[in-house]
Structure 1
Amino acid sequence: MQASTVPPILTTKLGQLHEIDCLAMLKGIPADTVDLAFADPPFNLGKEYSSKINDKKTEAEYLDWCKTWLDEMIRTLKPGGSLFLWNLPKWNIPLGAHLGQKLNFRHWIAVDIKYSLPIFNRLYPSHYSLLYYVKGERPAIFHPDRTPIICCRHCGGELRDYGGYKNKMNPHGVNLADVWTDIPPVRHAKYKKRAANALPLKLMDRIISMASDRGSLVLDPFGGSGTTYVAAELTGRRWIGSELDCSAISERFASLQADREHLAEIQASKNILFRTEDLARQKKSGRTLSKDYRLTEEDDCECDQPDTVQPSLFASS
Structure 2
Amino acid sequence: MMLPTKVHIREVGPRDGLQNEPIWLKTKEKQTWINMLTAAHLPYIEVTSFVHPDWVPALRDAKELAASLNKKNDITYAALIPNEIGLTHFFEANLDEGAMFISSSETHNKKNMNQSIHETLSVIKQMTAELKAEGLKTRAYISTVFGCPYEKQVSMDEVLRLTDRLLSYDIDEISLGDTIGEAHPLQVERRLDILLERFPADKIALHFHDTKGMGLANVYTALKVGITKFDSSTGGLGGCPYAPGSSGNVATEDVVHMLKKMGIETNIDFPALIKAAEWIEMKVDRTLPSHCLRAFHSHTTS
Normalised by the length of structure 2, the TM-score is: 0.37
* Greater relative CO (CA pairs within 8 A, separation 6+): 1
The structure whose Rg is larger is 1
Q: Which has the higher helix share?
A: 2
